[in-house]
Structure 1
Amino acid sequence: MRRPRSSRILPLVLLVLVSACRRPSRDAEQDAGTPRGPVATLTLKGSDTLVILGQRWAEQYMKAHPGARIQVNGGGSGTGIAALLNGTTDIAMASRALQDTERERLRQKHPEGPVEVPVALDGIAFYVHADNPVDTLTLAQLKAIYQGDLTRWKDVGGPDRPITVYSRESSSGTYAFVKERVLQGQDFTERAQTLAGTAAVVNAVSLDPNGLGFGGAAYLRGVKPLKVGAESATAVHLSADSLRTGAYPLARTLSFVLSRPPTGLARNFIDHALTPEGQRTVIDTGYFPVK
């Protein structure tokens, strides 16, 4: 005996009603975290020195502006500038100035650019293991060590042990800065152990009693920073005062680089970095404000 048509439809109706009860409404989905409307995105890439600071600025900005999504990645200043050239980042983070060839290539892509915005001040610190008795190195001694002419700590007033030289990779702005300002454009010794990221260099030196490394001020934890100067008598530690007075010889500017004048989210984010709050974050991170 065939069942009435209405009896076959009833279970289907009940199933639809149950499914509708279980499915959250569109408003409920949005309230649970789905953004309302289009999401503005911004990408920063480049200097490992600037990564921590960039991430903190991004967290602050996104907290105040839930509709924004800001991604911050490292890889070195050269990597960030290359990404800017090929259009895969909005802002390149740089711990060195643009090279003439980079500037010209960016200008060819966008005649109104490039734009370099200083966002923090820094200095290159050289550091050793906490137990190393050496506390001062001159620029000439650093040059000789990183070129391989001085190879033992006794040559600079320390114990009779070999110097383990640590360096950054060649795409790093920190590497480029040291090559220009300390090695005067000459090559690093082949003995230098190249590591990706300042944090990796700091960690290696903190574990190696014979180690010598360099990097930005914000990473100096678990190692002993050295006084640096043209002469031993004028050598000083990296500090806000020594940067301000010009006594520290290895000062540098940390910058955001854009292919054209910033607008929209990029402009607002940079403005945030330069506010008093943003510059307090510079200090809290271990760098020095530009304002």
Structure 2
Amino acid sequence: MRPLLSALFTLTLLALVSGCRRPLGSSEADAGTPRAAEEPVDIVTVKGSDTMVLLGQRWAEQFMKQRPNLKLQVTGGGSGTGIAALINGTTDIAMSSRPINDAEKQQLRQRDPKGPVELTVARDGITFYVNASNPVEALTLAQLQGIYLGDITNWKDVGGKDAPIVVYSRENSSGTYVFVKDEVLGGEDFTVRAQTLPGTGAVVNAVARELNGIGYGGAAFAKGIRELKVKKDARSEAIPPTEDNIRSGTYPLARDLFFYLPREATGATRAFLDYVLSPEGQKIVIDVGYFPAK
């Protein structure tokens, strides 16, 4: 072979050989070094009651420290929103500050005839808030009903100063709204004068700013305002929403807080529920400001 042709053949061969090599870091270069398999992450979704959302988030934060391969997603929106998500199959657990109703049960049973599953996870008392400067200390259930139906519009009519009552309420997707409507208003509609707010925290903030305001929500949110004592009727004792009174049922507006599931829980969801009802989980209930389920 001529020298020039021989040199060209050699260069071509070298180029072909080097072109067949892959750079370090390619999948084939790493094939001989097995990578550690990543642990699968279980995702559990919890949605619903704004009253319970802070409690749900605290449970989730502490439980995920023990189970780093588990991700808990906790969001609010109201009890009705959480139950609707459960019916639609878009959440694993619905948080609710009211019992599920018959129509919702039937919808869930279309998905699973053995459902739904109800768990009482904490106790709470619906508290009526007034501004810290308001001299009124107690109201009867009838007076609260009159205020929220719009029949009583001035504080002087319930022992306060001559000033209009500014009424704050929750949105109708709220379990707290439903509880007050059923247990205080006898199923009647709220006054059109009630200003609807998106969460209990917003109600508390509004009452703290408005000297003549009144609002309601869970006992855990009662900060920066004053809680009213409640009387069953004019002759009854005025009962404050204390832990003992709420846990014993002496306080007239005590209630349970619930988790609802479409069926019996398994796996990561079951582990989370066991944690919620454990002594450690129930201590978080107390730390947040509610009362243990047991």
The two structures have a TM-score, normalised by structure 2, of: 0.89
2:30 paired residue number: none
1:226 paired residue number: 228
Q: 1:165 aligns with which of 154, 164, 167?
A: 167
1:89-104 map, 5 Å: 89-104=91-106
Give the superposition deviation at 1:245: 3.1
Q: 1:61 aligns with which of 60, 63, 80?
A: 63
2:111 paired residue number: 109
1:64-79 map, 5 Å: 64-79=66-81
Question: How many percent identity over aligned positions?
Answer: 58
Q: 1:136 aligns with which of 124, 135, 138?
A: 138
Output the CA distance in 2 between the equivalents of 1:207 and 1:158: 18
Tell whether the 8 Å contact from 2:247 to 2:291 is kept in structure 1 after alignment: no
Residue deviations 1:25-61, cap 9 Å, x none?
Answer: 996xx8xxxx922110100100001101110111111
The two structures have a TM-score, normalised by structure 1, of: 0.90
Output the CA distance in 1 between the equivalents of 2:123 and 2:55: 12
Output the CA distance in 2 between the equivalents of 1:132 and 1:26: 70
Counterpart of 1:219, as a letter, is: F
Distance change (3 Å), C-alpha of 1:26 and 1:221: farther
1:284 paired residue number: 287
1:193 paired residue number: 195
Structure 1, unpaired ranges of 5+: none
Residue deviations 1:45-82, cap 9 Å, x none?
Answer: 00001101110111111100000000000000000000
1:246 paired residue number: 249
More deviation, 152-161/175-184: 152-161
Structure 2, unpaired ranges of 5+: 1-7, 28-32
Output the CA distance in 1 between the equivalents of 2:114 and 2:288: 33
Output the CA distance in 2 between the equivalents of 1:89 and 1:217: 27
Give the superposition deviation at 1:12: 9.1
Output the CA distance in 2 between the equivalents of 1:12 and 1:203: 70
Give the superposition deviation at 1:244: 3.0
Q: 1:203 aligns with which of 205, 208, 215?
A: 205
2:3 paired residue number: none
Give the superposition deviation at 1:5: 6.2
Output the CA distance in 1 between the equivalents of 2:76 and 2:92: 14
Distance change (3 Å), C-alpha of 1:141 and 1:36: same
Residue deviations 1:82-102, cap 9 Å, x none?
Answer: 000011001100000011111
2:48 paired residue number: 46
Structure with higher Rg: it is 2
More deviation, 231-240/137-146: 231-240
Output the CA distance in 2 between the equivalents of 1:264 and 1:162: 54
Output the CA distance in 2 between the equivalents of 1:57 and 1:269: 9
Give the superposition deviation at 1:8: 7.6
Structure 1 segments, 4+ long, off by >3 Å, are 4-13, 15-20
User: How many correspondences in the alignment?
Assistant: 282
1:260 paired residue number: 263
Give the superposition deviation at 1:10: 12
Note the aligned Cα RMSD (angstroms): 2.4
